Amino acid sequence: MKYLKPMNLKAQALKSASGDGAKREVVAMQTVAGCASTMDPGWEVDAFGGIAALCQPMEADLYGCSDPCWWPAQVPDVMNSYPDWDMDKANAGADWRQLNNVFPKR
C-alpha cells in the first residue's frame, strides 16, 4: 500500500496486519482455483483468509457489485457485458434465485 493511506478502522486493520505479518500474503499468490484475490474485500475470501470482512449478506450489495463491474469474473457486470442480467429482478434479497449463470452450460 505504497500510495494509500488507511482512512477507516478496517483499512487500518489491514495495514497493521500486513505490517506485523498476520495478513496471509500468500493468499494472494496461492488461491483456490477461481477465487478472486481482489481484496476490497474479496468475493470468496477476505484479506485475512476468512469471511468475517466480506459483505454479508452479499445480496444486500450484489447490484452494487454488478452495476460498476466489480469482480466481473465472479459477478456478471451489468455496466458493459451483461446489461440484462438483473432485469426484472430489482430486489436481490428476494430475487436471487432467478439470477442465472451467464456462460451457457455445455
Partner 1 sequence: MSGKMGLFVSGVMLFVLSAVLTPVSANDSTKDFKGKALVNDYCAACHEQTDKGLTRISDVRKTPEGWDMTIFRMEHLHGLAVDSDDRFAIIKYLSAENGLSPKESAPFRYVLEQRAHFVDVAPNDDLDALCGRCHTNARYGLQRRTAEDWLKHMHFHVGQYPSLEYQARARDRFWWQEVTSKTYKELAELYPFQTADWDQWKAAAYKSPVGLWRVTGHRPGQGGYEGIMTVSRHGDFFKAKYDLNDMGQKGESITGNSKSVVYTGYEWRGSGILNGTETREVYALSEDGNHMTGRWHDAIHYDIGGEFQAVRLDGAEAQVLAKSSDYIRQGETKKISLHGTGLTGKASADKGLGLSIIHQNSNSITLQITAARNIAPGSYRVTVGQAETAIVVYDKIDMVKIMPEWTIARLGGGNIPPVSAQFEATAYMKGKDGDIKIGIMPALWQIQPFNADAEQMKDVDFAGHIDQFGRFLPAAAGPNPDRKYSTNNAGNLIIIARIKDGDHQVSGKAQLIVTVQRWNLPPIR
8 binds partner 1 (CB under 8 A): no
Q: How far is residue 9's CA from residue 15's CA, in Å, rounded to a whole number?
A: 10
Q: Which residues are CB-contacts of 36 (< 8 A; sequence separation ≥ 6)?
A: 42, 43, 44, 71, 73, 74
**Among residues 20, 21, 88, 97, the one that binds partner 1 under rule CB under 8 A:** 97
77 binds partner 1 (CB under 8 A): yes
**Looking at beta carbons only, is 17 or 58 nearer to partner 1?**
58
**Looking at beta carbons only, is 17 or 71 nearer to partner 1?**
71
Q: How far is residue 22's CA from residue 70's CA, in Å, rounded to a whole number?
A: 26
For this structure, is 77 an active site residue?
A: no
22 binds partner 1 (CB under 8 A): no
**Among residues 16, 51, 61, 64, the one that binds partner 1 under rule CB under 8 A:** 51
Of 71, 76, 79, which Cα lies nearest the Cα of 104?
A: 76
**Among residues 12, 16, 19, 50, the one that binds partner 1 under rule CB under 8 A:** 50
- Contact (Cβ atoms closer than 8 angstroms) between residue 39 and residue 47: yes
Active site residues: 61
